[in-house]
Structure 1
Amino acid sequence: MKKTIPLVLLATLVHFFTQTNAANTIRFIKPGNGDTAQVFKAIKWRFQTKGKIFSTPVIANGVVYIGSEDSCLYAIDENNGKLRWKFSTKGKVNSSATVYNNRVFFGSYDGCYYALNAKNGREIWRFQTGGERHIGAKGLWTMKPDSLYMDDPFDFFLSSPAIDSANGHVCFGSSDGNVYALDATRGTIAWKLATGGPIHAAPLLHKGVVYIGSWDFNLYAINAKNGAIQWKFKTNEQPTYHVLEGIQGAPVADDSLIYIGTRDAFFYALNANTGTLVWKFDAESSWVVASANLKDNAVFFSTSDSYSFIAVNKQTGKELYRVKANGYIYNKPAIANKIAYFGDFTGQLFAIDIASGRQLDVFAFDARKNNAQKVLKNNNLDFSYAAEGKDLANYQTSVDAMNRLYTLGSIVSSPVVAGNALYVGSADGNLYAVELQSN
């Protein structure tokens, strides 16, 4: 039976996670005896920061760029994991970087977006937004005390810049509700567009259009040259728990279709020119937070509450298969050599054959190995178990439980494959390079 409110409630803490009845009826693909193959070889190197890493690594010219909650952006040698340089800001760096014309662009919770020299990390310009902040509310999800302003513990990201090379712009969204297009050379405003809510999603540049989601429930299609709205598509709005919803991931495009998942528990395919709905996939009360990926005739995306990696036909939205992880999934899958790679909140990396959905390999870092027995229930994430029986209606309980889960080295960062290695950040503060087996 279809649910009318696409949210999973555990006590009064809306997002914390029991398995839905619908999920229990789904046939998940699991490996059989002798059916796995070694894909992850070993850790090639690791680089330790002083904060959790939620941003995604970006690789250019032999350098890996990544931000950390220790307020720094790092440039690390791709081959040996040695520090090239680091740049300090005054806020957490939960925006992923982008590199263009020997410049690296990124945002910080200090309210600024930066352009640095990609070779030496020297600042070229900075742009002050109206301020960056976490989504939140007083008495979030009806938690107590209802007079306390509470940050949403699942609002991990800031908008990551995208380059409009045709117009020489760098585009991003801000918590101040604006979409900005700046001159990439000087950092001056080319245009800006106000939406009805904060923007933490990254934009997509596709055929002269900027596609970006906002916490006002809308996906916007904006003329990249002048900032005029071409269309907007409103996802489902649930007024009682409206702060829960919105769009966190960047859209992806394939010819004439735009694909986007949202916190309303649906995954959408829209006509890129008109914004009309082509199809939508019901994720059965589970948020779709991360961006999707495309390969051949399929679109691949993940869910939070049902811990699922899902493949659907990109033209029809018909489900092809799904694979069950051990915790919620907040990252975009990387696809290379017909294998999809993603991580889950319990600190594991998965390798999945994209044609069949067969789980090929699983890999865990030390944080998970050392703490899984204490934090997980039967090797699976159970939020009430992580809360150690404390009152889930109390906001501090959720904060404490999240901190326990982070000891697993939760993987929120999206993995990136380059050559025979996979690069990914972890909540344990490390950027990892993991060697992959050659095919």
Structure 2
Amino acid sequence: MKRLLALLPLYFFLVINNSFAQKNEPSIINSFSDRVFPGKGYLPLGDIKWKFKTDGKIFSSPIAKNGIVFIGSEDGFLYAIEEKSGNLKWKFKTNGAIHSSPSIYENTIFFGSFDGCYYAVNTTTGKEVWKFKTGGENWYSDLRILSTEPNNKPMDDLWDFYLSSPVVYKDNKSASVLFGSSDGNVYSLDAKKGSLNWKFKTEGPIHSTPVLDKNTLYIGSWDAKLYAINCKTGKEKWKFTTEDKIGFKGIQSSVAVADGMVYFGARDPHFFALDSETGKLIWKYDAESSWILSSAVILNNIIYVGTSDTYALLALDSKTGKELYRFRTSGYVYSSPAISGNTIYFGDFTGNFFSLDILSLGKISNFISTDSRKKHAAEILKNDQLDFTYAAKNSDLSQYKETKKVMDEFYKLGPIVSSPFISNNTIYFGSTDGYFYAIGL
């Protein structure tokens, strides 16, 4: 009770100030750069307004502008859908699955595809403006993923869900599109022409999405390092190395930047706070052998981030890293949360999508489930919880092919690894059941 009373001033601060939470200039909407949206109070999930069916799993996260919401699918299309009706306005075909999330600059939307190209498309017409060919896009692969057999050939990492999403950097002279690639490079392209400004080489594939703060780009790589790079020159400012060991290597999440600090999670498995100028470690949180693929959101000195094997949304003190509380779900939390008012929204790997009152210390929440989860949960989950051993049904999980079979079973639930976007009192997210959901608030 004392804790709740102490949080009352925070509640009034949120109500009064949340209308100023969107920091991006109106012409730019970047993926994962600002996950705090306007809103007041606790807004639980309402009814499904509509859902739109694609022909592939959805790993991409949506964005919306001018009454249109955009989402990519594993079927190779980027979709432009009318917010009010859920009707298709246009779709753009690539030659590969779209696992990156889009960003928008003025009337152009940018995204990447497994066909090895990053695209610029007109938001009104759906016509291609330019495309840029990288050295190739692919799932991360390594020997003995999670110590599975065979150990003599590389295997795709089954939890490498995303490609890097392009973001837009603008100064007083020009605009640039920046993203990482499976070829190990960070690219900077001219936003209007798609021509190369510079590229920066790391020691591993890059599927993390960059985040910009002032003139610095922060991005993680599968080489287990986080890089700070000058947006204009492409020169390294500093790098920070996380641990590198079998099954616990790489950075897939995006950073959050606040008050001179950079925050991010890794698979090593920790959550880190660094000095943004020097890259010096300030503190780290032990995630209990749980990967952190989710990108953190920070509001009023509290960090909110999802974990894998502990099935949690964590609330951490941004100054010390102390855990304030955790909200446990039924499965992995890879979806990056969004906040509106004092409500945080996110999905889990069993197909549940949650709204949580952040002032209730995890006590007040509601959720909806995908239709796929409702249909298959009883046969796949153990006591409504994700359990790899139970789902394996006595299969030998030291064999890669058996682990993959279990993952394919989990996909029947309609897991939510897409991160939500809020627009016009509606929250949007995709599911691996192939549906794109619009939920009223």
Equivalent in the alignment of 1:189: 196
Q: Number of residues paired by the alignment?
A: 397
Alignment map for 1:71-220 (pairs within 5 Å): 71-166=76-171, 167-220=174-227
CA contact (8 A) 1:323 1:359 kept: no
1-structure distance, mates of 2:354, 2:66:
27
Alignment map for 1:318-337 (pairs within 5 Å): 318-337=322-341
Equivalent in the alignment of 1:316: 320
Q: Structure 1 residue 293 and structure 2 residue 297: aligned?
A: yes
Equivalent in the alignment of 2:242: 235
State the shift of 1:391 in Å. 1.1
State the shift of 1:378 in Å. 0.4
Equivalent in the alignment of 1:225: 232
Alignment map for 1:231-270 (pairs within 5 Å): 231-238=238-245, 241=246, 244-270=248-274
CA separation of 1:200 and 1:208: change in aligned 2, threshold 3 A: same
2-structure distance, mates of 1:430, 1:257:
37
Deviations 1:319-373 (A, max 9, x none): 1100100000101111012011110000001111112222311211211111100
CA contact (8 A) 2:316 2:325 kept: yes
CA contact (8 A) 1:339 1:354 kept: yes
CA contact (8 A) 2:210 2:219 kept: yes
Equivalent in the alignment of 1:44: 49
State the shift of 1:237 in Å. 2.1
TM-score of the pair, normalised by structure 1: 0.88
2-structure distance, mates of 1:136, 1:262:
17
Could you tell which deviates more after superposition, 56-65 or 140-149? 140-149
2-structure distance, mates of 1:149, 1:230:
32
Equivalent in the alignment of 2:351: 347
Deviations 1:262-320 (A, max 9, x none): 00111111111111111111111110111000111201111001001000111111111
1-structure distance, mates of 2:108, 2:381:
42
State the shift of 1:147 in Å. 3.6
CA contact (8 A) 1:115 1:125 kept: yes
Structure 1 portions without partners, runs of 5+? 1-36
Structure 2 portions without partners, runs of 5+? 1-41
Letter in 2 for 1:275: G
Letter in 2 for 1:203: P
1-structure distance, mates of 2:428, 2:369:
14
Equivalent in the alignment of 2:395: 390
2-structure distance, mates of 1:274, 1:252:
16
CA contact (8 A) 1:178 1:193 kept: yes
1-structure distance, mates of 2:197, 2:243:
32
Letter in 1 for 2:437: Y
Q: What SS does the corresponding residue of 1:346 show, helix, strand or coil?
A: coil
Equivalent in the alignment of 2:364: 359
2-structure distance, mates of 1:318, 1:144:
38
Q: What SS does the corresponding residue of 2:90 show, helix, strand or coil?
A: strand
1-structure distance, mates of 2:197, 2:426:
38
2-structure distance, mates of 1:165, 1:120:
24
2-structure distance, mates of 1:139, 1:226:
38
Deviations 1:49-90 (A, max 9, x none): 000001101111111111101111111111111101111111
Letter in 2 for 1:235: T
Residue 433 (structure 2) aligned to one of 428, 433, 438: 428
Equivalent in the alignment of 1:58: 63
Alignment map for 1:368-407 (pairs within 5 Å): 368-407=373-412
2-structure distance, mates of 1:380, 1:88:
37
Q: What SS does the corresponding residue of 2:47 show, helix, strand or coil?
A: strand
CA contact (8 A) 2:248 2:291 kept: no
Letter in 2 for 1:229: E
CA contact (8 A) 1:350 1:359 kept: no
State the shift of 1:394 in Å. 1.5
Deviations 1:81-110 (A, max 9, x none): 110111111111000000112000000001
Deviations 1:149-180 (A, max 9, x none): 32111000000011101141000000000000
State the shift of 1:244 in Å. 4.2
CA contact (8 A) 2:344 2:356 kept: yes
Equivalent in the alignment of 1:12: none
Letter in 2 for 1:117: N
CA separation of 1:378 and 1:189: change in aligned 2, threshold 3 A: same
Equivalent in the alignment of 1:5: none
Q: What SS does the corresponding residue of 1:363 show, helix, strand or coil?
A: strand
CA contact (8 A) 1:89 1:108 kept: yes
CA contact (8 A) 1:115 1:126 kept: yes
TM-score of the pair, normalised by structure 2: 0.88
Letter in 1 for 2:374: K
